[in-house]
């Protein structure tokens, strides 16, 4: 679990070398202005606004255009300070008392100033003061809250995270109002200085897990974090595995539910995707709907999902193995029609399957990247070319088309894209094995996958739990989704320090019976 | 400790079950059938007694030296020199057994599934897969068996249901026509397989819940006994006295399955599932060999020797038997004496010596707390 720390090159911050960043502010306003200007040399979006407080004291307001609320600056800061009602020269504290704002912080160094300016908080500097004031007036254009496209639900909340960290935090806080929802803030990225929040619920999440997440995040030294995917790859357990070891979601309800299981949520500024750790294989088969629909339906759908997961990985290989090695397994009538359909096909079953699967993947990828209006064209082309023309031309057998289509649909049933794509990928080596050694190769492929999954861990939690190692109590939420009145306990491996989620025996029944 | 992993007694039971059963299902019905005929269902019951006894002996030894395997604690019992010789003989035995199982595996897969595939491809592929699991340690083994063994057990009830219409229960009558002696002869082979429960000795030190070790070992032996009895009954119901004349009669029985003219000839599918169990068996013996070697040589880590030993067991598998008939004869006449001698008799002697030694030391000095 603990990787041996390799000796890394010395930390280098190009900006830091630039000079006097950590120096305290000077009492001379002109010198402050000069240094700030030298730091922000060539940044045309930085605005320096000199003015006189009550016509007497020289003052300076520094902010970045577009990050701060200029209307508020005019009405709440400049208007009261420049009014003639103040009749004497005043110091910083008195000035702050005159500003009609709730969020004012004192800054003492240039470093503080830069951080606040970059975050959109205007800095107010005054003559003869070695301190400045950071005004909480950050405001920029943000996307409105919408339903996430990648995780749509039939029943459930229609809100999704946005690119702004503050909004995302507030969405979590609105779901979990308890003060036990704690957050640790850290900044990663020498250039981007991206804010990253580790959210957890005190008393449910394991302290060692929080420490581990913090440790791994602290080790990250990178120039920028533009998406949570950067972080994911830098903190996961096994970097060579195709399987995702952190769950990404756009939905506050999913994040909250996982927080309540004792998991940790990592929010990254600038992306609506938050990371959840630790997760198991079965987490990727739990759609948010499962918990909102009726339990029986959810359970059936979840079992179907897992069944189709097996189909999506093994069906093409099974077809290849059976049609080229074990024809005796196929019922006589079917093998006759299979043989007649394959008569004109020039390829072996393996080549046929590989070609078709690759074409299918290409179609899927093409449809994904194109604009929505053109995307429909791809599916038409795909359906016509692959579905019909290829069969008529005798390049592939119709049976293979059916197999590829079922496989495709099956892989789309996995609610998480990251897991689905991993499973689609491992289909190819298994096809090769099945094409060379038949069902024996298929069995070997299955064994290899299972062994790999058995070795995998996500932040100390075995990837295949609760199946292997078997945790009987957690089975209630793995293959099936038990009714809410049975989901009394949290997941053992993440929430064992606060075992009970609800009062027992809540099965509804008539009174006095 | 060479392996930091921890398993539960339940996981250990799931590993031991295929360790006995996976190859017993190939050989035992045929061998017992040759001796006992229609009473072959009784042979595994008698044979399982040895399984219970072996498990009990090794559990008692484990109780005396809770953190060590047999290869390690034998030095407390018979001194360092003799224990090294004993350990070496066990390592050679494991090496031989790995080769034996792999060869059996090859014969079975080769005959029934891939007749034209070269031996090295079949043996090499499964050894590579096994080494993958072993580098993960005992935890991975335990987890893998938790996934594989339920799938592995599943065909037994399914067979029974699907073959119900072909059953002729009268085949089993008259019961014990020739008395108990043939049953005892027939039990010779199964008891050898049951003595393979010895391998709990390698796993008991890793248990999170060692107090349940004996219980789950017994459950495991009992489950194997039940499976063998039911499969023997199944073949007798189907073939009667003819059982002994088939190679791999259980898999012959699968050919009789025919449901609505669609589910037919399921052998290949059943063999595919059998591979999962056989894989666990190979892995368990391979792991015992590698771990035992690391313990014998006092290595700090067993991972570097996994692949070299993989090569060695592949070579042993290629060398051991020229054909199935040879291996079958070996299983029938030598195996029932050789294997229980190593896996049951020697541990029993060790236990007796250990008991006598502790009694003597207790007389001389006040009892000291063992290294719990």
pLDDT of residue A17: 47
User: A257 or B255, which is more confident?
Assistant: A257
pLDDT in tens, B34-82: 888 778 888 889 889 999 999 999 999 999 888 888 888 888 888 889 9
Q: What angle do CA A110, A113, A116 make, to 5 degrees?
A: 150
Average pLDDT over residues B269-289: 91
pTM of the prediction?
A: 0.89
Joined together, the tokens standing for residue A346 give 């020039």
Which residue, chain included where needed, has tokens 């293959």? A479
pLDDT of residue A334: 83
Joined together, the tokens standing for residue A97 give 């008392």
Q: Do A454 and B147 touch (CB under 8 A)?
A: yes
Is pLDDT of B8 > 80?
yes
What lies within 8 Å, CB to CB, of B194 at 6+ separation is B20, B47, B48, B50, B51, B54, B221, B224, B225
Task: Name every chain A residue with its beta carbon within 8 A of the beta carbon of B265.
Answer: 328-329
Q: Are A169 and A267 in contact (CB under 8 A)?
A: yes
Q: Are A136 and A104 in contact (CB under 8 A)?
A: yes
In chain B, where the domains are located: 13-358
Q: What ipTM was assigned to the predicted interfaces of this complex?
A: 0.91
pLDDT of residue B140: 92
Which residue, chain included where needed, has tokens 């059998």? B274
Task: Name every chain A residue with its beta carbon within 8 A of the beta carbon of B206.
Answer: none
The whole-angstrom separation of Cα A243 and Cα A421 is: 9
Element of type H or E holding A426:
helix A417-455
What are the φ and ψ backbone dihedral angles of A349, each rounded to 5 degrees? -60, -35
Of A329, A444, A454, the CB nearest to B140: A454
The whole-angstrom separation of Cα A170 and Cα A154 is: 24
Q: Do B129 and A448 touch (CB under 8 A)?
A: yes
Minimal C-alpha gap between A455 and chain B (Å) = 6
The whole-angstrom separation of Cα A223 and Cα A232 is: 15
Joined together, the tokens standing for residue A14 give 């190009």
Average pLDDT over residues B237-261: 77
Average pLDDT over residues A171-178: 93
Write out residues 114-173 of B within 8 Å (CB-CB) of A: 114, 117, 121-122, 125-126, 129, 132-133, 136, 139-140, 142-144, 146-148
Joined together, the tokens standing for residue B198 give 């010895």
Share of chain B above pLDDT 70, in %: 95
Joined together, the tokens standing for residue B93 give 């035995």
Q: Are strands A104-107 and A123-126 parallel, antiparallel or unpaired?
A: unpaired
What are the φ and ψ backbone dihedral angles of B259, each rounded to 5 degrees? -115, 120
The whole-angstrom separation of Cα B206 and Cα A321 is: 39
Phi-psi region of B258 (alpha: psi -120 to 50; beta: other; left: phi over 0): beta
Candidates A327, A435, A468: best to mutate against B (most CBs of B within 10 A) is: A468
Per-residue pLDDT band at A6 (split at 50, 70, 90) = low
Among all residues of chain B, which has the CA nearest to that of A468?
B143
Q: What angle do CA B50, B137, A424 make, to 5 degrees?
A: 115
Q: Do B125 and A437 touch (CB under 8 A)?
A: yes
Q: Do A454 and B266 touch (CB under 8 A)?
A: no
- A68: helix, coil or strand? strand
Among all residues of chain A, which has the CA nearest to that of B6?
A469
Cα-to-chain-centroid distance, residue B97? 10
User: B28 or B1, which is more confident?
Assistant: B28
Q: Where are the alpha helices (DSSP H) in A122-221?
A: 165-175, 207-218
Could you give the C-alpha distances from A502 to A447, A488, A498, A506, A508, in angstroms and in order? 39, 5, 11, 9, 14
Is pLDDT of A80 > 80?
yes
The whole-angstrom separation of Cα A411 and Cα A285 is: 11
Q: Do B114 and A437 touch (CB under 8 A)?
A: yes
Average pLDDT over residues A349-378: 85
Minimal C-alpha gap between A7 and chain B (Å) = 25
Task: Name every chain B residue with its beta carbon within 8 A of the beta carbon of A466.
Answer: none
Per-residue pLDDT band at A69 (split at 50, 70, 90) = confident
pLDDT of residue A433: 93
The whole-angstrom separation of Cα A484 and Cα A468 is: 24
Joined together, the tokens standing for residue A168 give 């995302």
Average pLDDT over residues A358-381: 82
The whole-angstrom separation of Cα B15 and Cα B203 is: 10
Task: Name every chain A residue with its beta carbon within 8 A of the beta carbon of B5.
Answer: none
pLDDT of residue B364: 61
Among all residues of chain A, which has the CA nearest to that of B12?
A469
For the ranges A136-140, A195-199, B146-150, the lowest mean pLDDT is seen at: A136-140
Q: Are B41 and B301 in contact (CB under 8 A)?
A: no
The whole-angstrom separation of Cα B156 and Cα B151 is: 10
Average pLDDT over residues A104-131: 87
Nearest residue to B141 via CA among B271, B21, B281, B310: B281
User: B169 or B87, which is more confident?
Assistant: B87
Among all residues of chain A, which has the CA nearest to that of B129?
A448
For the ranges A357-366, B246-255, B333-342, the lowest mean pLDDT is seen at: B246-255
| Other beta carbons less than 10 A from residue A422's beta carbon | 17
Q: Do B142 and A448 touch (CB under 8 A)?
A: no
Minimal C-alpha gap between A478 and chain B (Å) = 14
pLDDT of residue B366: 52
Most confident of A103-117, A164-178, A462-476, B235-249: A164-178
The whole-angstrom separation of Cα A476 and Cα B242 is: 47
Joined together, the tokens standing for residue B319 give 């060398």
| Other beta carbons less than 10 A from residue B175's beta carbon | 9
DSSP symbols for B188-211: HHHHHHHGGGGGHHHHGGGBSSGG
Q: Where are the alpha helices (DSSP H) in chain B?
A: 9-36, 42-64, 70-112, 119-135, 138-153, 155-163, 181-186, 188-194, 200-203, 213-239, 249-254, 267-296, 306-320, 324-333, 335-340, 346-364
| Other beta carbons less than 10 A from residue B253's beta carbon | 23
A to B CB pairs, distance under 8 Å: 89
Could you give the C-alpha distances from B49 to A363, B193, B195, B203, B348, in angstroms and in order? 62, 11, 9, 21, 15
Write out residues 433-452 of A within 8 Å (CB-CB) of B: 437-440, 442-444, 446-448, 450-452
Q: What is the mean pLDDT of chain A?
A: 87
pLDDT of residue B317: 92
Average pLDDT over residues A66-79: 86
Q: Are A440 and B113 in contact (CB under 8 A)?
A: yes
The whole-angstrom separation of Cα A145 and Cα A147 is: 7
What CATH number belongs to B13-358? 1.20.1740.10
| Other beta carbons less than 10 A from residue A77's beta carbon | 25
What are the φ and ψ backbone dihedral angles of A87, each rounded to 5 degrees? -110, -10
Is pLDDT of A3 > 70?
no
Radius of gyration of chain B (CA): 21
Determine the number of helices (DSSP H) and then strands (DSSP E) in chain A: 17, 12
pLDDT in tens, B252-270: 787 777 776 666 777 788 8
In chain A, where the domains are located: 22-135, 291-461
pLDDT of residue A473: 87
Joined together, the tokens standing for residue B17 give 């079950």
pLDDT of residue B215: 93
Q: Are B184 and B46 in contact (CB under 8 A)?
A: yes
Minimal C-alpha gap between A449 and chain B (Å) = 10
Average pLDDT over residues A269-292: 92
DSSP symbols for A71-127: HHIIIIIIHHHHSTT--S---HHHHHHHS--S-EEEE-BHHHHHHHHHTT--EEEET
Per-residue pLDDT band at B368 (split at 50, 70, 90) = low
Average pLDDT over residues B222-227: 92
Q: Do B146 and A470 touch (CB under 8 A)?
A: yes
What letters, b where the CB count within 10 A reaches 16 and e where it falls short, cover A274-305?
bbbbbbbbbbbbbbbbbbebebeebbebbeeb
Q: Do A454 and B271 touch (CB under 8 A)?
A: no
Minimal C-alpha gap between A171 and chain B (Å) = 39
Per-residue pLDDT band at A15 (split at 50, 70, 90) = very low
Task: Name every chain A residue with its beta carbon within 8 A of the beta carbon of B114.
Answer: 325, 437-438, 440
Q: Is A329 on the interface with B (CB under 8 A)?
A: yes
pLDDT of residue A179: 93
Q: Where are the alpha helices (DSSP H) in A157-294?
A: 165-175, 207-218, 228-235, 252-260
Average pLDDT over residues A406-431: 91
Average pLDDT over residues A308-333: 89
B363 class by beta-carbon count within 10 Å (0-12 exposed, 13-18 middle, 19+ buried)? exposed
Max distance between CA atoms of chain B, in angstroms, equals 76
pLDDT in tens, B194-208: 999 999 999 999 999
Q: Do B140 and A470 touch (CB under 8 A)?
A: no
Q: What angle do CA B97, B100, B105 make, to 5 degrees?
A: 125
Minimal C-alpha gap between A355 and chain B (Å) = 26
Q: Which residue pairs, CB below 8 angstroms and at least 24 apart, start in A321-325? A: A321/A434, A321/A435, A321/A438, A321/A439, A321/A441, A321/A442, A322/A439, A323/A349, A324/A348, A324/A349, A324/A350, A324/A435, A324/A438, A325/A437, A325/A438, A325/A439, A325/B114, A325/B268
The whole-angstrom separation of Cα A223 and Cα A214 is: 19
pLDDT of residue A7: 53
Q: Is A335 on the interface with B (CB under 8 A)?
A: no
């Amino acid at each position: 679990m603990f990787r041996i720390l390799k000796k890394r090159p010395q930390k280098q911050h190009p900006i830091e070398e630039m000079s006097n960043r950590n120096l305290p502010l000077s009492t001379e306003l002109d010198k402050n202005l000069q240094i700030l200007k030298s730091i922000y040399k060539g940044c045309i979006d930085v605005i320096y606004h000199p003015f006189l407080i009550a016509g007497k004291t020289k003052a300076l307001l520094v902010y970045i255009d577009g990050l701060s609320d200029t209307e508020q600056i005019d009405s709440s800061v400049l208007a009261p300070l420049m009014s003639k009602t103040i009749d004497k020269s005043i110091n910083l504290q008195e000035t702050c008392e005159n500003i009609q704002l709730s969020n004012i912080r004192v800054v003492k160094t240039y470093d503080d100033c830069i951080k606040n300016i970059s975050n959109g908080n205007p800095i107010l500097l005054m003559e003869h003061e070695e301190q400045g004031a950071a005004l909480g007036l950050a405001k920029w254009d943000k996307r409105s809250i919408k339903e996430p496209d990648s995780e749509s639900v039939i029943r459930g909340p229609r809100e999704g995270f946005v690119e702004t960290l503050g909004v995302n935090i507030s969405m979590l806080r609105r779901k979990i109002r308890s003060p036990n929802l704690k957050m640790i803030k850290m900044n990663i990225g020498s250039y981007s200085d991206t804010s990253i929040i580790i959210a957890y619920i005190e008393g449910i999440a394991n302290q060692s897990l929080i420490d581990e997440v913090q440790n791994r995040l602290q080790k990250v030294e990178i120039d920028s974090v533009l998406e949570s995917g950067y972080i994911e790859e830098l903190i996961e357990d096994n970097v060579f595995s195709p399987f995702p070891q952190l769950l990404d979601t756009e939905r506050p309800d999913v994040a909250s539910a996982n927080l309540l299981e004792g998991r940790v949520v990592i929010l990254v500024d600038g992306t609506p995707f938050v990371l959840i750790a630790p997760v198991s294989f079965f987490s990727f088969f739990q759609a948010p709907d499962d918990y909102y629909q009726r339990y029986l339906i959810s359970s059936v759908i979840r079992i179907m999902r897992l069944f189709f997961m097996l189909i999506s990985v093994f069906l093409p290989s099974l077809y290849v193995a059976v049609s080229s090695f074990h024809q005796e397994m196929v019922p006589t009538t079917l093998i006759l029609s299979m043989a007649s359909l394959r008569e004109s096909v020039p390829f072996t079953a393996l080549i046929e399957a590989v070609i078709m699967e690759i074409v299918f993947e290409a179609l899927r990828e093409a449809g994904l990247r194109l604009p929505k209006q053109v995307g429909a064209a791809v599916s038409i082309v795909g359906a016509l070319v692959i579905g019909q023309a290829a069969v008529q031309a005798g390049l592939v057998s119709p049976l293979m088309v059916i197999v590829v289509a079922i496989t495709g649909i099956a892989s789309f049933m996995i609610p998480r894209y990251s897991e689905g794509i991993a499973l689609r990928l491992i289909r190819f080596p298994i096809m090769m094995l099945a094409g060379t050694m038949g069902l024996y190769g298929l069995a070997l492929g299955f064994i290899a996958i299972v062994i790999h999954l058995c070795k995998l861990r996500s932040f100390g939690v075995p990837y295949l739990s609760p199946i292997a190692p078997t945790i009987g109590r957690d089975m209630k939420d793995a293959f099936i989704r038990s009714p809410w009145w049975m989901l009394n306990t949290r997941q053992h491996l993440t929430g064992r320090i606060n075992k009970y989620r609800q009062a027992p025996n809540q099965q509804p029944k008539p009174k006095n019976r | 400790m060479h392996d930091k992993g921890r398993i539960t007694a339940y996981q250990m039971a799931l590993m031991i079950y295929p360790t006995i059963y996976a190859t017993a299902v190939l050989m035992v019905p045929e061998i017992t059938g040759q001796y006992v005929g229609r009473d072959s269902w009784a042979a595994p019951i008698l044979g399982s007694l040895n399984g219970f006894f072996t498990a009990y002996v090794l559990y008692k030894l484990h109780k005396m030296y809770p953190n060590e395997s047999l290869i390690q604690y034998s030095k407390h019992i018979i001194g360092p020199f003799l224990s090294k010789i004993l350990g070496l003989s066990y390592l050679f035995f494991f090496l031989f057994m790995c080769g034996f199982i792999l060869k059996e595996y090859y014969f079975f897969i080769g005959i029934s599934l891939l007749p034209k595939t070269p031996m090295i491809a079949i043996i090499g592929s499964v050894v590579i897969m096994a080494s993958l699991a072993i580098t993960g340690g005992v935890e991975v083994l335990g987890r893998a068996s938790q996934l594989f063994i339920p799938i592995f057990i599943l065909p037994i009830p399914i067979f029974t249901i699907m073959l119900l219409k072909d059953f002729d229960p009268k085949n089993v009558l008259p019961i014990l026509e020739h008395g108990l002696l043939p049953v005892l002869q027939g039990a010779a082979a199964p008891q050898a397989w049951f003595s393979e429960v010895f391998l709990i000795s390698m796993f008991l030190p890793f248990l999170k819940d060692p107090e349940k070790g004996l219980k789950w070992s017994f459950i495991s032996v009992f489950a194997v006994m039940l499976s063998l009895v039911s499969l023997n009954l199944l073949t007798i119901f189907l073939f009667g006295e003819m059982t002994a004349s088939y190679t791999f009669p259980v898999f012959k029985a699968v050919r009789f399955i025919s449901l609505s003219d669609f589910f037919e000839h399921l052998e290949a599918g059943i063999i595919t599932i059998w591979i999962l169990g056989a894989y666990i068996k190979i892995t368990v013996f391979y792991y015992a060999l590698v771990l035992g070697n690391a313990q014998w040589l006092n290595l700090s880590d067993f991972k570097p020797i996994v692949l070299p030993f993989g090569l060695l067991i592949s070579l042993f598998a290629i060398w051991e038997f020229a054909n199935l008939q040879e291996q079958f004869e070996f299983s029938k006449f030598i195996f029932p004496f050789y294997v229980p001698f190593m896996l049951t008799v020697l541990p029993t002697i060790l236990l007796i010596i250990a008991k006598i030694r502790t009694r003597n030391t207790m007389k001389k000095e006040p009892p000291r707390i063992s290294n719990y």
